[in-house]
């Protein structure tokens, strides 16, 4: 817990009351992701800012959802053993059984705020995606219960107030996996990465709930993983809605209290 929520001394001001106290912050550190192909050649792919924890799942999810490696081709994930100190745990190498697709455009630095912006077009996503199935089909009551279920799983957020979360649910509203990160897309990659490492992709009949807004990168990552329903407590972007419409994905926004908006493919929601 200390790695993802370190303590720091702060001056707290509340009206006329001023005091020095210890506070927890959401940790943010760089993670370099490398790929070793079947020939033993290791190549750097990207550096992303993330909250430490579930690094192997983050690396696997990132590589799968960005189309660098094929699902099922991941043989081994490990921290680089040729490094020392803190850097050791900030570099992850994924070894694959099939060649990786690594172009110069992919060797970039990604912030925790957005994915690899501009390098993945909607047409490219459609090429990588298998057609989404009809599921999951959920009731209105199940949908309305997702935000509270996700919030209950945000343990580090309770300490810091500074992390996003993504949760994977079944059609009955059961929470299957929740991960937190300072970046929205990182939290999604971690959830998908857990499934990738378990060889459980595609995630048919599963729904994804995110704590922030639903941008294009979240929709495309969900579609690549085979997830047919994405819900958010906030607004989707116009490109996210366009992508969801073309990819056959149900996109729900402003899911809070007793209401929500359905932007695309409402046939997956009953009642």
Report the catalytic residues: 114
Take residue 77 and report the two structure tokens written for it.
């994930």
Which strands form 108-110's sheet, in the order they lie side by side?
74-79, 91-96, 29-36, 42-50, 108-110
φ, ψ (nearest 5 deg) of residue 180: -115, 150
3-state secondary structure of 265: coil
Whether residue 33 contacts residue 62, with contact meaning beta carbons closer than 8 Å, is answered with: yes
Cα separation of 63 and 94, whole Å?
A: 9
CB-CB contact of 191 with 36 (8 Å): no
């Amino acid at each position: 817990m200390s790695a993802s929520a370190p303590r720091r001394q702060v001056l707290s001001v509340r009206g006329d009351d001023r005091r020095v106290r210890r506070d927890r912050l959401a940790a943010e550190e760089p993670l370099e992701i490398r790929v070793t192909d079947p020939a033993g050649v290791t190549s750097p792919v990207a550096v992303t800012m993330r909250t430490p924890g579930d690094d192997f799942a983050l690396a696997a999810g990132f590589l799968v959802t960005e189309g660098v490696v094929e699902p099922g081709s991941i043989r081994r994930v490990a921290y680089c053993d040729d490094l020392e100190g803190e850097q050791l745990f900030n570099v992850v190498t994924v070894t694959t059984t099939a060649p990786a697709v690594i172009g110069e455009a992919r060797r970039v630095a990604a912030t925790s705020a957005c994915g690899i912006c501009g390098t993945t077009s909607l047409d490219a996503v459609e090429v990588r995606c298998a057609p989404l199935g009809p599921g999951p089909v959920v009731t209105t009551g199940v949908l309305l219960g997702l935000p509270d279920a996700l919030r209950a799983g945000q343990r580090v957020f309770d300490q810091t107030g500074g992390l996003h979360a993504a949760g994977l649910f079944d059609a009955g509203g059961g929470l299957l996996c929740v991960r937190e990160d300072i970046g929205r897309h990182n939290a999604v990659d971690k959830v998908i990465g857990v499934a990738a490492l378990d060889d459980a992709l595609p995630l048919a009949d599963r729904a994804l709930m995110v704590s922030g807004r639903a941008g294009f990168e979240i929709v495309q990552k969900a579609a690549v993983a085979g997830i047919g329903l994405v819900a958010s407590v906030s607004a989707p972007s116009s490109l996210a809605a366009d992508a969801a419409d073309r990819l056959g994905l149900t996109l729900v926004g402003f899911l809070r209290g007793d209401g929500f908006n359905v932007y695309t493919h409402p046939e997956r929601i009953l009642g």
